[in-house]
């Protein structure tokens, strides 16, 4: 998605939102468009007050940026990983925007994957009594319901699998025979998944949502935060090629997994697969079919 407008409008937009954020006039000296993913437009903005990262969308997306800001702040408070500081969010000229600390990308450090594994284990050590979150948010552009519950399997079924499967079926993307098979899997989850406490999750952890900071260490962006099964986060990292083996070794050493995790990966990945069906189409249905045929 890309919103183009004239150079003067561009400068006015950036200078105005920085004035909103900082409470004083700011002179924008340089701008450079960056990748904002499939949903938003993004830019590096260098001003008289330093560098920031800005992303924006149409005004009705302000709620999306608000929940992202709240999620980033929650992750940052855990003090486990580098998370960009939220500077401001709001709207101006029929555009919603989010201003973040700019992380200057550098090559990965020697211990990058080990540090990521250990740091993610530390993040997952943060817990609370219930699964979910005090506010709903988004995964990509899709609403993510985080209604709180003490039962992890119930949360996984109702707020993750049923929500996305129902949407995919309604949109005609998920065949009825597959949709009808899901309840049979739900009935087996208590015997298939370990009963673990809720863990603080990034929620959308794949390589595209990890930057490298100036020290060569990982920095996480674009979260879909909630408290859930930590194995679900690790499973997601395997979906698009996986991370280096040392990442998983470092994580398991810091926060050992229950035996048989590799056998459970495909169950957890039903959620991101259903999300991808709803975002990108029926090309991901075959992956769902393989999981349901197995279990």
Query: Known catalytic residues?
Result: 204
CA 100, 10, 142, 35 torsion: positive or negative? negative
Cα distance between residue 101 and residue 114, in whole Å: 25
The helix or strand, by DSSP H or E, that contains position 41, with its residue range, turns out to be strand 41-47
Nearest Cα neighbor of 45 from 58, 31, 59, 35 is 31
Give, in order, the Cα–Cα distances in Å from 195 to each of 219, 245, 258, 292.
Answer: 29, 25, 10, 21
Instruction: Give the contacts of 173 (CB within 8 A, at least 6 positions apart).
Output: 277, 278, 281, 282, 285
d(CA 102, CA 259): 40
Tell me the H-state helices in 91-219: 112-124, 152-155, 162-170, 176-186, 189-192
Please compute Rg for the chain using Cα positions. 20
DSSP state string for 58-115: EGGGHHHHHHHHHHHHHHHHTTSSB-PPEEEEEEETTEEEEEEE-----PPPTTHHHH
d(Cα 216, Cα 257) in Å, to the nearest integer? 27
For residue 199, how many other CB atoms are within 10 A of its CB?
Answer: 24
User: Strand 226-228 to strand 199-201: parallel, antiparallel, or no bridges (unpaired)?
Assistant: antiparallel
**Residue 130 DSSP class:** S
């Amino acid at each position: 998605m890309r919103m183009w407008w004239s150079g003067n409008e561009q400068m006015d937009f950036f200078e105005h939102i920085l004035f909103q954020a900082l409470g004083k006039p700011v002179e924008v000296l340089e701008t450079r468009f960056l990748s904002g993913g499939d949903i938003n437009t993004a830019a590096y903005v260098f001003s008289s007050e330093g560098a920031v990262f800005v992303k924006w969308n149409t005004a009705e997306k302000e709620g999306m940026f608000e929940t992202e800001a709240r999620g980033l702040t929650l992750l940052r408070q855990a003090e486990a990983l580098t998370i960009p500081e939220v500077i401001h969010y709001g709207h101006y000229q029929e555009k919603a925007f989010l201003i973040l600390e700019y992380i200057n990308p550098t090559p990965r450090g020697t211990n990058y994957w080990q540090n990521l594994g250990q740091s993610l284990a530390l993040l997952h050590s943060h817990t609370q009594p219930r699964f979910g979150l005090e506010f709903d948010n988004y995964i990509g552009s899709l609403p993510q319901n985080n209604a709180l519950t003490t039962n992890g399997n119930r949360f996984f079924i109702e707020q993750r699998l049923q929500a996305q499967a129902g949407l995919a079926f309604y949109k005609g993307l998920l065949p009825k025979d597959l949709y009808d098979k899901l309840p049979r899997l739900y009935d087996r989850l208590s015997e298939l998944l370990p009963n673990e406490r809720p863990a603080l999750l990034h929620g959308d952890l794949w390589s595209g949502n990890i930057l490298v900071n100036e020290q060569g260490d990982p920095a996480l962006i674009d979260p879909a935060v909630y408290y859930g099964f930590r194995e679900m986060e690790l499973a997601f990292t395997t979906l698009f090629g996986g991370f280096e083996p040392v990442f998983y070794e470092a994580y398991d050493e810091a926060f050992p997994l229950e035996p048989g995790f590799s056998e459970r990966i495909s169950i957890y990945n039903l959620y991101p697969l259903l999300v991808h069906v709803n975002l990108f189409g029926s090309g991901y249905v075959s992956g769902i079919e393989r999981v349901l045929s197995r279990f």
